[in-house]
């Protein structure tokens, strides 16, 4: 992972993370069938990452240019807090969501991969991208994942944020049975 411009400090304050879909929550493949889009390939490990973020009091949302029942199904399964589909310009959905949750830009992370993600990567406090994002996006993002989209990039970014917020060890300890260092003190 590559970070810049005080990404660590910003990560500490994140209360909401917003994801693009194709190329970010998926590997960027559009699996088209005879009746329309047949499926999308999500990552089970990204799903676990999102569940951990929720436990760590970080909300999640999706803002995407395409529109599908597929994303609605997966969004419900992941218990995503808000889902905006068919957004030609993603800024409208972003502003609506920011207002609804009473958040400031510096409390929001956004993860994308392509040119239409640039406006929100620039506006959100923590602009992030997947490891195989296009060069223009990589240049502007404060956090560039090592893993490509749909193959663990979202998990990697969530782990970074949760670690910066000091919540990771405690979340992992629910699986290992070991109390995390910061949990032991109380």
First CA to last CA across the chain, in angstroms?
33
- If one asks whether residue 181 binds a second copy (CB under 8 A), the answer comes out as no
Which C-beta is closer to a second copy: that of 13 or that of 170? 170
Cα dihedral 46, 5, 163, 150 in deg (nearest 10):
10
DSSP bridge partners of 2: 144
Q: Which of 3, 67, 103, 119 binds a second copy (CB under 8 A)?
A: 119
Among residues 115, 109, 116, 117, the alpha carbon closest in space to that of 136 is found at 115
- Give the binding range for a second copy (CB under 8 A) out of 7-15, 53-61, 101-109, 111-119: 111-119
HSE-up (13 A, CA, CB side) for residue 140: 22
Size of site (CB under 8 A) for a second copy:
45
CB of 102 to a second copy, least distance (A): 26
CA distance 102 to 82: 14
* Interface mask toward a second copy for 7-46; x: CB under 8 A: ---------------xx----xxxxxxxxxxxxxxxxxx-
Minimal distance, residue 165 CB to a second copy, in Å? 17
56 binds a second copy (CB under 8 A): no
Number of Cα atoms under 13 Å in the Cβ half of residue 143: 27
Q: How far apart are CA 97 and CA 18, in angstroms?
A: 10
Q: Write out the binding residues for a second copy, residues 59-88 only, by CB under 8 A.
A: 68-70, 73-74, 77
- Position 116 contacts a second copy (CB under 8 A): yes
Q: Are strands 143-144 and 2-3 parallel, antiparallel or unpaired?
A: antiparallel
CA distances from 79 to 84, 101, 165, 173 (A): 14, 16, 22, 22
Residues in 131-170 at the binding interface with a second copy, rule: CB under 8 A: 134, 136, 140, 150, 155
Q: Write out the residues near a second copy by the rule CB under 8 A.
A: 22-23, 28-45, 47-48, 52, 68-70, 73-74, 77, 113-116, 118-119, 122, 134, 136, 140, 150, 155, 172, 175-177
């Amino acid at each position: 992972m590559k970070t810049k411009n005080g990404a660590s400090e910003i990560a500490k304050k994140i209360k909401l993370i917003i994801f693009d879909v194709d190329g970010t929550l998926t590997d960027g493949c559009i699996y088209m069938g005879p009746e329309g889009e047949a499926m999308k390939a999500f990552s089970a490990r990204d799903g676990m990452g999102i569940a951990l973020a929720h436990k760590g009091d970080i909300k999640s949302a999706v803002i995407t240019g395409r529109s599908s029942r597929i994303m609605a199904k997966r969004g419900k399964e992941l218990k995503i807090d808000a889902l905006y589909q068919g957004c030609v310009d993603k800024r409208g959905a972003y502003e609506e969501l920011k207002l609804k949750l009473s958040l400031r830009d510096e409390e929001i992370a956004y993860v994308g991969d392509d040119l239409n993600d640039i406006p929100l990567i620039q506006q959100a406090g923590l602009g992030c991208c997947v490891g195989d994002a296009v060069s223009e996006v990589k240049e502007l993002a404060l956090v560039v994942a090592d893993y490509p989209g749909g193959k663990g990039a979202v998990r990697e970014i969530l782990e970074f944020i949760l670690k910066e917020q000091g919540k990771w060890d405690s979340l992992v300890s629910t699986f290992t049975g070991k109390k995390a260092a910061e949990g032991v003190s109380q």
